[in-house]
Amino acid sequence: MSSAATTRGRPVRLEPPSQHLQGSEFFPLATPAPAAPSVATDPGASERGEQKILTASLEMRGLTHIQSQYETGKPLRDVAILGCVTVTPQTAQYILALRALGASLSWCSDNQYASDPDVVAYLRDQGIPVFAKANMSTEEYFGCMDLAIDHLDQKTRLHVNDDGCDITRHILETQPDKLARIDALVEQTTCGANALKNLYRRKLLSFPAIDVNGAFLKGFDNYYGTQQSVLHALTNIGITIASRQIAIVGYGSVGQGVARALRAVGASIGIVEADLLKLARAAWDGYQPMSIVDALGECDLILTASGCAPTITGHMIHTFARNGLILGNIGHGNGEYDIEWLSQHPHSTINSHRTAYRLADGRTVHSLCGGALLNFRAGAANPSHVMSLTFSLCLLAHIAVVREPRKFAQPTLHEVGEAAERECAEFHFPSLSRKLYKLSDQQRQYLALDA
C-alpha cells in the first residue's frame, strides 16, 4: 500500500454486464462506426465543454507545443487508440492532440463517477466517439467500455491508453480474442502498472506496455497535483482541516503530497504504512507513524492513498472506528475502504458528497463521495499543468512505439525513457532550461556523464 495512483473510479464489483449495452438514455446506438452517433443533449453543454477545454489548454502549453512539433508528420496516422481515462477538460486536450497527430480514437472512462458531461458533449460534437457520463451504474460503466471497443477503427494497428489497467482487464475477462489486435499499451497509474506486472508474470499478455507512472515527471501529477486537488475537495465538502487529526493510509507519492498539503494548513498528520522503509521516511519527514487500529480509534479523518483494495475492511471499521470518524479516498477506485459494508447500515445524506452511516451500536461513521476519489467527485481533479506533463509523456510513448518498434518488441513493461522525459521537460519548463548550470568537459568527465 506504499504508493498510490492518481487514478480513478473502477467499481468494487468487477463482474461485467450479461451482454453489451445496446444503447441507453444517453447513448442510443446505430450501426457501430468510427464516429459516435448523435445524442440529444443539453444544447449548451458542448459550448460549455469547449470553454472548459480552452481554459485547461492555457495551462497545458507543453502538450500543445509537443503537438505542434509532431503534427505535420502525423506519426499516429496508422494507429487506432482505445482510451480509458476519465473524461475531463485536461483529458480532452490530450484526446484532441492524439487526433491532431493522426490517430483514430474511441474513448471511455476508467472512473465510474467523474466524467464531465459538457466535455463529453463537445468531443462527440467533434466526431470523436466518447462513451462516458457522470455517476454511471456498474452496468453502464462496463457497457461503455464495450461500446468503445465496438467503435474501434478495425483497419489500423491498435494502441490502448489505460488508467488503472481497467479496460485491459475488462478485455481479458470478457473479450480475450481482442487481445491479439493490441500492438502496445500505455499505462499511467501505479495500480495499473502493478496489475500489468502481475499479468506479464502470468504470461497473459503478448504485447508491450509502457509504464508512464514510473517516469520522474509523472510524480508531479501524483505529488504536486494532489496537494491542490485534496484541499479543493475537502473545502467543497465543508470539512475544516486546521486542528484536525488526519491519518493518511499509504505514503507513496500521493500520500506524501496529501500529507504535505494538509499539514501546511494546520492539520496534525499520522501515517499508516505496510512498508517499513516508507514508514521510517514518514517519521523522518516529521509525521506520526500510526497503526491502522490507532488511526481508526483516534483520528477525525482518514484518507486512503494506497492504490490497494481493500485497505480498510468492514471488520476493521466495526471493531475499531471511533464515533464520528470520517473516511475518504484519494487512492484508486472506490474499494480502498469497505463502502459495501457501510452501505448495509442505515444512513443519512449530509450533503451531495457526505453520507453518515449508523452502526448497530449507535456509532456514526461518515463516508465522503461514496468511497470514490474525492478529488475528482468533490474537487476539480489535479490541475492542468501537472496533467499536461502526464499526458505529454503518454503522447510521446505512443509515438515512440511507432517509431522504434524494435525497442518495444518484448511483451513486458517498458520505461518511458530519459530522452522522452527530457523532451517533455524542455517543452514544459523552457525558462528553467535557460538557467541551467553548464558543465565543463572536465566536470562531465569527473561525473562520468559521457561514459
Q: What is the pLDDT of residues 136-150, one digit of tens each?
A: 888 999 999 999 999
Q: Where are the alpha helices (DSSP H) in 310-349?
A: 314-320, 339-342
With 0-12 / 13-18 / 19 or more C-beta atoms within 10 angstroms meaning exposed / middle / buried, residue 382 is: buried
CATH number of 222-377: 3.40.50.720
The per-residue pLDDT for 27 is 38
Contact (CB, 8 A) for 12 and 334: yes
User: Cα separation of 354 and 75, whole Å?
Assistant: 46
pLDDT tens-digit series, residues 154-194: 878 899 999 999 999 999 999 999 999 999 999 999 889 99
Please give the DSSP secondary-structure letter assigned to residue 311: S
CA distance linking residue 227 with residue 212, whole number of Å: 20
H helices present in 238-299, as ranges: 253-264, 276-284, 292-298
42 — pLDDT class (breaks 50, 70, 90): confident
- Higher pLDDT among residues 10 and 132, named by residue: 132
Is-contact 292 315, C-beta < 8 A? Answer: no
Residue 307 — pLDDT band, cuts 50, 70, 90? confident
Over the stretch 51-105, which tens digit does the pLDDT of each residue have?
999 999 999 999 999 999 999 999 999 999 999 999 999 999 999 999 999 999 9
The pLDDT score that the predictor gives to residue 234 is: 97
**How confident is the model at residue 309, as a pLDDT?**
82
What value does the mean pLDDT take over residues 218-225?
92
Average pLDDT score, the chain: 89
Q: Residue 390 above 60 pLDDT?
A: yes
Report the candidate in 414, 420, 16, 401 with the shortest Cα–Cα distance to residue 182: 401
Q: Return the closest-CA partner of residue 105 out of 132, 133, 86, 77.
A: 77
Using alpha carbons, list the distances in angstroms from residue 282 to 222, 229, 400.
Answer: 17, 21, 37
Locus of grid cell 474501434: 152
Q: Cβ(215)–Cβ(195) under 8 Å? A: no
Residue 13's Cβ-count burial label (10 Å; 0-12, 13-18, 19+) is exposed
pLDDT at 238: 96
The pLDDT value given to residue 332: 80
What CA dihedral angle connects 414, 197, 334 and 176, to 10 degrees?
100
pLDDT band, very low/low/confident/very high, at 40 (cuts 50, 70, 90): very low
Q: Range with the lowest mean pLDDT among 34-43, 267-276, 329-338, 364-373?
A: 34-43
How would residue 451 be classed by pLDDT, with cut points 50, 70 and 90? low
pLDDT band at residue 33 under the 50/70/90 scheme = very low
Which of 15-24, 29-38, 231-240 has maximum average pLDDT? Answer: 231-240
Residue that the C-alpha cell 490517430 belongs to: 103
The reported pLDDT for the residue numbered 109 is 95
Residue reference for cell 453489451 = 20
Whether the full predicted model's pTM is greater than 0.85, yes or no, is yes
User: What's the rounded mean pLDDT across residues 274-281?
Assistant: 98
101-131 tens-digit pLDDT = 999 999 999 988 889 999 999 999 999 999 9
pLDDT per residue as tens digits for the range 1-32: 444 433 344 443 333 333 334 343 333 333 33
> Which positions ≥6 away from 331 have C-beta within 8 Å?
4, 5, 191, 249, 250, 254, 304, 305, 306, 307, 308, 311, 373
- pLDDT band of 217, cuts 50, 70, 90: very high
Return the closest-CA partner of residue 329 out of 278, 255, 264: 255
Distance CA 291, CA 113 (A): 31
Task: Tell me the chain's radius of gyration from C-alpha atoms.
Answer: 22
Contact, 79 vs 398, CB < 8 A? yes
pLDDT at 292 over 90: yes
Angle at which helices 226-237 and 253-264 pack, to 10 degrees?
60
Pairing status of strand 364-368 against strand 354-358? antiparallel
Per the rule left: phi > 0, alpha: psi between -120 and 50, beta: everything else, 102 is left
The stretch 402-428 carries a mean pLDDT of 94
Instruction: Please list the residue range(s) of the chain that carry CATH number 3.40.50.720.
Output: 222-377
Residues of the chain with CATH 3.40.50.1480: 45-219+382-431
Percentage of the chain modeled with pLDDT above 70: 91
**Which of 3.40.640.10, 3.30.70.260, 3.40.120.10, 3.40.50.1480 would CATH assign to domain 45-219+382-431?**
3.40.50.1480
pLDDT at 396: 97
State the average pLDDT over residues 399-417. 94
Confidence category of residue 323, pLDDT binned at 50, 70, 90: very high
Closest Cα partner for 164 from 234, 283, 231, 84?
84
